[in-house]
Amino acid sequence: MHSTLTEHARCLYGDEYRPAPQCGLDHREHYFVEELTFADAESILAMLRALCPHVVDGNLPVWIRNLAYRLVLLQRPDEPALLREAAENLWMHGPDWDDIATDLARRADALDAARE
């Protein structure tokens, strides 16, 4: 078993910045998706920031990134910075999700305005 979500993702998808560890485990994507599904927001964000520190990089498949951001936002829906980060990811890998990204940015703006 991997000790962190980041380690599991690194083994499965590789890492642009570090070599993938040799662990000898059976790497099946559905095991990773199951772990991701029930991970806490901090673990998911740690994985995204370690494996995709810039929006345009990283070896995580786009659908995994989208799922990861969706899961984080379900856990932390009222954080404008996270909403904008997710929107930026969607815009970068769109245009299929541009309308969702625009909505996330609007929600972030509304949250900021409500706090002023």
Q: Decide: 69 and 77 in contact? Cβ < 8 Å.
A: no
Clarify whether residues 106 and 49 are in a common domain: no
Clarify whether residues 9 and 60 are in a common domain: yes
Tokens 């599904």 belong to which residue? 37
Clarify whether residues 49 and 7 are in a common domain: yes
Q: Decide: 85 and 68 in contact? Cβ < 8 Å.
A: no
Clarify whether residues 26 and 63 are in a common domain: yes
Clarify whether residues 17 and 30 are in a common domain: yes
CA dist 93 → 21, 63, 110 (Å): 27, 10, 24
pTM, 2 dp: 0.91
Cβ atoms < 10 Å from Cβ of 9? 27
Residue range 21-75, pLDDT digits in tens: 777 777 789 999 999 999 999 999 999 999 998 878 888 999 999 999 999 999 9
Number of domains forming the structure of the chain: 2
Clarify whether residues 7 and 36 are in a common domain: yes
Clarify whether residues 35 and 4 are in a common domain: yes
Mean pLDDT taken over the chain: 91
Clarify whether residues 91 and 114 are in a common domain: yes
